[in-house]
Structure formats: structure tokens, C-alpha cells
Amino acid sequence: MAAKELRRQGPKADPVSNVGSHHGGMRLVEIRGLVRRYGEGHAAVEALADVDLSIEAGEFVALLGRSGSGKSTLLNLLSGLDSPTAGSVRIGGEDLAGLDPDGLAHYRSTQIGIVFQSFHLLPGRTALANVEMPLVLDGEPREERRDRAAAALAAVGLSDRVSHRPSELSGGEQQRVAIARALVRDPALLVCDEPTGNLDSTTADGVTELLLTLNRERGVTIVLVTHDEALARRCASRIVVLEDGRIVREEATERVMS
Amino acid sequence: MRTRDILGEASAALTGSRSRTCLTGAGVTVGALALVLIVSLSLGLSTLIDDFVSGEEQLRHVLVMPGFGRRIDRSVEIEIAGEMTDAKRDRLRRALMKRSRGGPPMQAAINTIDADVEAKLAAISGVVDARPFVQDRFEAQLGDRSTGNRKVLSIGAPADHPNYPGRLLAGRWFASDDEHAVVVHELMLYELGIASDEAQAAVVGKTLRVTARKEGGGMLAMIMKATGGSSGGGKTQWPVLYSEDLEIVGVIRERFGDDPSTVMDEAMAMQADLFIPTEFHRTLSERRAGQGGLRALLLVADSMDHIDAIEDEVRAMGLQSRSVQRAVSRIKKTLDVATFVAGFLAAIAVFVSCLGIVNTMVMSVLERTREIGLLKALGARSRDVMLLFLVEGAFIGFGGGLLGVAIARGLGVFGNRVGTSMIEEAMQMPFTGTLFQFPLWLLLGGVGFATATSLIASVIPAIRAARIDPVRALRHE
Ligand SMILES: Nc1ncnc2c1ncn2[C@@H]1O[C@H](COP(=O)(O)OP(=O)(O)O)[C@@H](O)[C@H]1O
Ligand SMILES: [Mg+2]
């Protein structure tokens, strides 16, 4: 039932308004008793052990924790790239466990935007073509996707880099292109796995500021993984700290950045 | 994903690693080239055979010739009866085997085609016509010119023969089957020293004297030739049987180019210098004592379906039987086997090129693991990823196949030119057939086959691509 519901939304349906992110305060993500175990027997690693977490639409959540604490695992489960050993992930009330592989692919393409630490841009293609890619996968007509991709690039401040290839862009610019690609379909949730991990601190600040702007001005719900607590405090509305696959601390912040 | 985008992505990936694509495609090209050429040659040869025996009537011909007795079937153990040692039994069996294998040159026919046999043959059910083939050898004399010791071949020809009258250089064809007349071949006149068409036309109306000599065949003739014969001076001179004066009514030329002919006529009249009306020729032949019967009798069946039964009956009478239909089907069977063997080798080439495609695609999947993982993370369905690689494989197959078929077509033109000149040299006459034939279905089929096999070859790599786990593919190192 849930699977059908999600797949019935056409590619042009607006998932953001669909889950009511603009109305604020509505529960967008609900994670209950989430467990992810790798391997079996003695070699088994529990990357996530009984995680409960709720995220409201419009929130900016920073996931903190040491390397190996399970942050990436949580993001992967959130974005439907991986499936849990136990527990449930609900987005906008729909349980991801009810989706078949195609349903998950559709879920990723409509509800989720992913930003990776190492950008993962396609090297042979222009910034515009990279941003267009999710729309190509959606089967969007050429003209429309050109316009939407250009708009997304404008939103990250790269209107003048449209036809540059990744090798002709700086690290910060590349990550902005990746953010534009993640946003081009207006996802309900933007997940960023250490997006500034490969950037120097000045550039990192710029990217973080961009995320903050997107959250504030466009109401994009963001989950940001970082191990830089200071940076997290400056931009996130809430901080969640993971340790050995468990949430050990959760606190609302006074955002410093403006 | 839209079909157009899938095609675009696939071709972008192929042009991205151009040299590898070209090498893989070259494998397909060679395979398709070999396969198409072989099929095309087989088609051409098959059509040549069909054209050669063109006209349904020929396929209804059964040529009956005198029999040389039963041969022993070597697959059956020969029974030697009576009390004797095993060694003797083996010797006798071996002797019997040897004798049973003696061929026509050594033996006189046991079963001849005399009037009785001819009537029986004509009465076989399914036989609608029985045309006697009569042959003889004569010394020919025209005025003071003579063929001398060289004997020329004469054959009996009917007044209503379908093809011979069309080859007359001068004069006319026979008015009836028992007319006392002769039509002479241009080569014989040339050998008598009459060369030009005009000079040859001038012999029409003159008298040709033919002389038959008593002549032994087989072993005796060979021995006499070898020993110098009975008369001194080197050449054997057999005693004269009779001479006959015949009016030359026409001059016939050699068959050339597209002249219509039948296989049986070709076989019987290949060396004929004299054409004499059938019935009259028979009366001449009958004047040869001890040489009873016809050289051959051509039976015409009412339908091709009856050929086998007629041939069985002819053999049961102890006579030899030949049919165009059987010869053609034997040649075609041989051709089929040759085509199959060659096709099998070409199929191996295609198979090897498929391995190349599998290898290329697997490499490509490995190299692009990250990219595929990314596409899946961005929402690509497994089906899209699979299609992407299938289309890539199909593209290689289509491109390689298209090139292969095009080259095959080009080589075919070249092969036809070379083949035609070789055949013309061998046959000494113009040849208008086509050795390599390329019907549209073969061209399309060649490309289609290459595309389909490449597509099949990319199934496994495509499945591997579709199964790539995006989490693992994108893990940050
Ligand atoms: N595919 C996997 N197989 C086995 N163990 C894994 C796998 N992925 C992650 N892990 C383990 O799970 C734990 C959490 O990993 P991860 O979520 O990547 O941590 P983080 O992103 O916080 O650095 C680590 O101990 C890691 O070694
Ligand atoms: Mg991580």
C-alpha cells in the first residue's frame, strides 16, 4: 500500500509540498528501533544499534560522531540505499520496508537528494549535464531539464560555470554542483555525508553557508553528517551525536551563523 | 529513462573508450563478414546449379544405358558355398570381389538396350516419352577432303529437337526422323580446312561420305593399339563395314554463352561432329553386326515424383540409370555439407567475437562501478542500468555487423569479378551468373544476427551492472 502510494506520484509531483515541509513542524522522518548489522557470528559488526530519531520538515539536523560511529550507515538507510536488519524508517508516513527495488529507486529520485564527501560528479560532463542527470533518469523532456538544471545551478551561485567540466572547477565549486544536482528535483530531504570533508576550511564555510541558506530561505530539510562540532553548532538547528551505533546526545542549538 | 536518453548515454559511453569499442567491433565485423560471405556463396552456387538444369523437363529425365551386370554389394558378406579350407574360401571371396569391381572399359555390356528392352522401358509406368540416343564413329569424306584415320562422332538427333535448330549457321534442320541427311559441326569443317562462315555455308547441298569400319572395343582394341595392330605402318586399320553418302543439309555451330541446352544433350553430344536423323541413324547402327542395342535411351517421366520409381525399375532390369534430378540433389547435398562446415567455422568466429564483447563489457562495468553506483543513488532503476549496457552491446554488434556486411558486399563484387573471369577461362565462354548473391534478407539478417548475438553476449555484464550495490560502489576511501 505504502509502496504503491509512493510510486504513484509522478516525477513532476512536488514531494516537498507533498510531505508538508513548508508548513513546518510536521514529522518528516521517523526512525524506530533501527539496527544495522554487518556480517554474522563473531565477525558481526553492529553499525547501528537501536536508533530512534524523528526529524521535522524544515529542520537542519547535524549528525556528529567519530569515524565508524555509524553516521554513513544511518544516512544510507535514510536514503533507501541500504535496508535495516531491524526497525523501521518512515518518510512522510511511508515505511521504506514496504518498497520494492524500483519503488526505492523512485523514492530516491523523488524524495531524497544526496551529497557525498567526494562529490561524485561524472568527469566527462559539464556542470549542467551533471545536474541534469537525475532528471534524465526520471525521463524528463530535454528542454524542461535544461531549465531546471540551470535554475538549480543558479541557486548554488554557479550560473557562470554551467558548461565547465568538473576538472575545470575548484573543490568548492564541484561540491556546489553536487548540491545543485541533489536539489534539482526538489527533494523532501537533503542528506549530506561530510560534504566539507574534502574542502579547506574557507571553502567549507562557503558550502556550509549555502546549506544554511537553502534551509532557511527555501525550507529544505537537511541532515548533515560532520565531525566538526563547531561547524555543526553554527548551522544546524539540532545536533545528534552517535557513538558506536547509538544516539548518545541530542540537543537543540542556537545557530551562530547568519 | 527515455529511450532516446538511453541510446545517447550508451553511445556516449562507447565513444568515451573509442579504441576499445573499435577493437571489439572489429571482432564482430570479421565474424559477420565470414558468415555473410559463406551464405552468399552458397546461395550463388545453389542458384547456379538450378539455372544449369533450368527447365523443369530436365529434372524429369532418366538416362538409361546398357548394364554391365550386377556388382557385388561390399557391405554384404559374400557366401562361398561348398566344402573347402578357410584359406581357399577367403581366396575365392577375394577373387569374386575383384571381378565384381571391373569397370565398363574392360567389359562388354551384358544387358543391352535392344528393341524389346526399349519397348519395356517405354512402357514403365510414369514414362511419357522414350528418346533413343544413337551414336557411332565414322570416317568422313567431303569431296577430296577427309578426316582420314580420325573418326568423328555422329549422334542421332530428332527432327523436332528443341535446341539444335537454333544453332544452325547455314542450311536447315531435318524434315523428318528418317531423312537421309546430315548436319555437320563447324569444327569438323574447320578441321577439313574450311574455316569461314561463308565457306562453311557453301558446303550445304554437298555430299558427305561416311565410312564405318569394324571395330573392336575394350581390351582387344587396347592390345592392338599397344602392339601396333595387324596392319603395318603403325596405325590400326579395321576392315570397312559399309560406306554411305549423305546430303549435308546444314551446318551447326558450337554451343556458346546463353544457348539453351540440357545436361543430357551436353553429355551425349559433347564431341559430336555429325548430326543424323534419329531413326535413320538407328538403321545405320543396326548394320554393325554384333553391336546390338542403343548407346542410351532417354526416358521422360510425367512427373519428378516418379523418377525414383522409374530408376529402380531400370536398375532391376540390369541397366544403368542416370538422372539429373539425383545428380543435382547429390551436388546440393554436398554443397549443403560444405556450407554447414564453413558456416560452423564462421559461427566459431562469431562466438569468439562474442567472448570479446563479454570481456569488453565486463571491463566496462568494472571501470564504471562508481558511475553506476552514483546513477543508482540518484534514482536509476536496475532496469535502466541493464538497458544501458544491453544497448551498448547491441550498438557494438550493430556497428560491427553493418561494417562486416558492407565489406562482405564489397568483397562479393570483387569475388564475382574474379570468379566470372576464372569460370570463363575454364569454360571458354561468356558467363553471366553470380557467384556471391546478396539478397536483402541476407544483408539485414547479417546485421541482425550480429546485433542479436552481441546483445546476448552483453546480458551477463548487464546483469552484473544492474546488481551493483551503490553503497559499496560509492564508499569513500
Ligand atoms: N559494508 C560493510 N561491511 C562491514 N562493516 C561495515 C560496512 N559498512 C560499514 N561497516 C562498519 O560499520 C561501522 C559504521 O560505519 P559507518 O557508518 O561508515 O561509520 P561513519 O560513517 O560514522 O564513519 C564501522 O565499524 C564500519 O567498519
Ligand atoms: Mg562515513
Write the residue in A105, A124, A194 that is nearest to B379 by C-beta.
A105
3-state secondary structure of B422: helix
Task: Please give the distance, rounded to the nearest whole angstrom, from the Cα atom of residue B150 to the centre of ligand 1.
Answer: 105
What is the rounded average pLDDT for all residues in chain B? Answer: 85
Predicted confidence band at A16 (pLDDT cuts at 50, 70, 90)?
very low
Task: Please give the distance, rounded to the nearest whole angstrom, from the Cα atom of residue A128 to the centre of ligand 2.
Answer: 28
Measured between CB atoms, does B337 come within 8 Å of chain A?
no
Residue A158 CA to residue A177 CA, distance in Å, equals 8
Q: Do A133 and B2 touch (CB under 8 A)?
A: no
> Taking a contact as any Cβ pair under 8 Å apart, which residues of chain A between 93 and 122 contact chain B?
101-102, 105-106, 108-110, 114, 116-118, 120, 122
Model confidence, pTM: 0.72
**Residues of chain B neighbouring A136 (CB-CB closer than 8 A):** 1-2, 5, 9
ipTM of model: 0.88
Q: Do B377 and A114 touch (CB under 8 A)?
A: yes
Residue type, B251: V
What ranges do the domains of chain B cover? 3-54+330-475, 59-322
Q: Is residue B346 over pLDDT 80?
A: yes
Task: Residue B4: count other Cβ atoms within 10 Å of its Cβ.
Answer: 12
**Residues of chain A neighbouring B368 (CB-CB closer than 8 A):** none
Contact between residue B157 and residue B275 where contact means Cβ atoms under 8 Å apart:
yes
Q: DSSP letter for A87, please.
A: E
| Nearest-neighbour CA in chain A from B383: distance (Å) | 9
Closest B-chain CA to A139: B1
Measured between CB atoms, does A227 come within 8 Å of chain B?
no
Task: Please give the distance, rounded to the nearest whole angstrom, from the Cα atom of residue A66 to the centre of ligand 2.
Answer: 9
pLDDT of A10: 38
pLDDT digits (tens, 9 = 90+) for B365-411: 999 999 999 999 999 999 999 999 999 999 999 999 999 999 999 99
| Nearest-neighbour CA in chain A from B366: distance (Å) | 16
- Provide the number of CB pairs (under 8 Å) joining chain A to chain B: 61
- Range of lowest pLDDT (A73-87, B155-169, B214-228, B339-353): B214-228
CB-based contacts of B176: which residues, under 8 Å, 6+ apart?
B159, B277
pLDDT digits (tens, 9 = 90+) for B12-27: 888 888 888 999 999 9
Task: Please give the distance, rounded to the nearest whole angstrom, from the Cα atom of residue A1 to the centre of ligand 1.
Answer: 32
**Residues of chain A neighbouring B386 (CB-CB closer than 8 A):** none
Measured between CB atoms, does B380 come within 8 Å of chain A?
yes
pLDDT of B266: 79
Interface test with A, best of B378, B472, B474 (most A CBs within 10 A): B378
pLDDT of A149: 96
**Mean pLDDT, range B86-91, rounded to an integer:** 89
Task: Please give the distance, rounded to the nearest whole angstrom, from the Cα atom of residue A31 to the centre of ligand 1.
Answer: 19
**Residue A43 backbone dihedrals phi, psi, to 5 degrees:** -80, 0
Q: Which residue has a Cα nearest atom 3 of ligand 1?
A: A38
Q: Do A120 and B370 touch (CB under 8 A)?
A: yes
pLDDT digits (tens, 9 = 90+) for A109-154: 999 999 999 999 998 899 999 999 999 998 899 999 999 999 999 9
Ligand 1 pocket, residue A44 CB under 6 Å: no
Residue B36 CA to residue A248 CA, distance in Å, equals 72
Q: b/e map of B447-460 (b: 16 or more CB within 10 Å)?
A: bebbbebbbbbbee
Predicted confidence band at A181 (pLDDT cuts at 50, 70, 90)?
very high
pLDDT of A129: 95
Residue type, A223: V
Predicted confidence band at B224 (pLDDT cuts at 50, 70, 90)?
low
C-alpha cell at A232: 555543526
**Mean pLDDT, range B156-184, rounded to an integer:** 92
What percent of chain B has a predicted confidence (pLDDT) above 70? 89
What percent of chain A has a predicted confidence (pLDDT) above 70? 89
Q: Do B1 and A137 touch (CB under 8 A)?
A: yes
**Residues of chain A neighbouring B471 (CB-CB closer than 8 A):** 76, 81-82
**Residue A31 backbone dihedrals phi, psi, to 5 degrees:** -110, 125
Residue B192 CA to residue B274 CA, distance in Å, equals 13
Residue A133 CA to residue A130 CA, distance in Å, equals 5
- The DSSP code sequence of B321-384 is EEEHHHHHHHHHHHHHHHHHHHHHHHHHHHHHHHHHHHHHHHHHHHHTHHHHHHHHHTT--HHH
CB-based contacts of B213: which residues, under 8 Å, 6+ apart?
B139, B237, B238, B239, B240, B241
Direct distance between the N- and C-terminal alpha carbons of chain B, in angstroms, rounded to an integer = 30
**Mean pLDDT, range A216-242, rounded to an integer:** 91
Owner of C-alpha cell 500500500: A1
CA separation, residue B117 to residues B64, B123, B124, B417 (Å): 11, 10, 11, 50
Task: Please give the distance, rounded to the nearest whole angstrom, from the Cα atom of residue A227 to the centre of ligand 1.
Answer: 15
pLDDT of B231: 45
Ligand 1 pocket, residue A73 CB under 6 Å: yes
Measured between CB atoms, does B470 come within 8 Å of chain A?
yes
**Residues of chain A neighbouring B16 (CB-CB closer than 8 A):** 124
Q: Which domains does chain A have, with CATH numbers?
A: 17-121+173-252 (3.40.50.300)
Ligand 1 pocket, residue A36 CB under 6 Å: no
Ligand 1 pocket, residue A197 CB under 6 Å: no
| Nearest-neighbour CA in chain B from A139: distance (Å) | 4
- Range of lowest pLDDT (A55-69, A89-103, A150-164, B319-333): B319-333
Residue B97 CA to residue B91 CA, distance in Å, equals 10
Q: Do B9 and A136 touch (CB under 8 A)?
A: yes
Write the residue in A105, A181, A197 that is nearest to B381 by C-beta.
A105
Owner of C-alpha cell 502510494: A5
Ligand 1 pocket, residue A38 CB under 6 Å: yes
**Mean pLDDT, range B160-183, rounded to an integer:** 93
| Nearest-neighbour CA in chain A from B381: distance (Å) | 6
Task: Please give the distance, rounded to the nearest whole angstrom, from the Cα atom of residue B48 to the centre of ligand 2.
Answer: 74
